[in-house]
Amino acid sequence: MITTEQVDRMGTDFLKHIYRIRQQVFEKELSFPKQDRMTYNEWDALANHYMVLVNGSPVGAVAVVDWTGITEKLLERGINPNLRVAKVTKLAVLPEHRGIITLKTLLQPVQKECGDYDLVLAEVAPPSNRLDDTTRYEMGKKYQRLFGLDFIGDPSINGIKTHILGKPFSHN
């Protein structure tokens, strides 16, 4: 049975499960160094976090951060700071559970939440210790397909060329 739940960002179980999944995917599998802060960072306290469980065991996670009004970050990425912007970040699913049903289940609440914004965005960049690694951009293509995102630009952020992907939402 595959289920998704929004998790309490202040709960210790959240930290234990989400960070374990992120560490496995970002640090061990994708070789992001700890300095890239893919496992945890300051945005975690502000984000809404979703976890997918298979038979009650956590196997994936994703976060949605409200970047509305964070003018510096939006301008740095070439985005109008007057828009309501959600950033989808840290999508991580353990390799043995990467399937379309698991992923769709995890993303359902994310898509519902993002419908309240003018723009949803995601970023794709290589690890800081492998700046010439372009395989990360293949993952960006997956983000584009999953969320229906468009390529917005590829600015250099903190010295790393980053693909910015986004999708405007129309409010019904």
Buried/exposed code over 116-134 (b: 16+ C-beta within 10 A; e: otherwise): ebbbbbbbbbbbeeeeeee
In angstroms, the CA 10 to CA 50 distance is: 13
CATH (domain of 44): 3.40.630.30
In angstroms, the CA 13 to CA 19 distance is: 10
Pairing state of beta strands 85-93 and 57-66? antiparallel
Instruction: Name the domain count of the chain.
Output: 1
List, for residues 11-62, the tens digit of each pLDDT value: 767 678 999 999 999 999 988 888 888 888 888 888 999 999 999 999 999 9
List, for residues 109-118, the tens digit of each pLDDT value: 998 998 889 9
Containing structural domain, residue 27: 2-168
List, for residues 116-170, the tens digit of each pLDDT value: 899 999 888 888 888 888 777 777 777 677 777 888 888 888 778 888 888 876 5
Mean pLDDT over residues 78-99, rounded?
A: 93
Beta strands in 48-159 (DSSP E): 48-54, 57-66, 85-93, 119-124, 150-153, 156-157
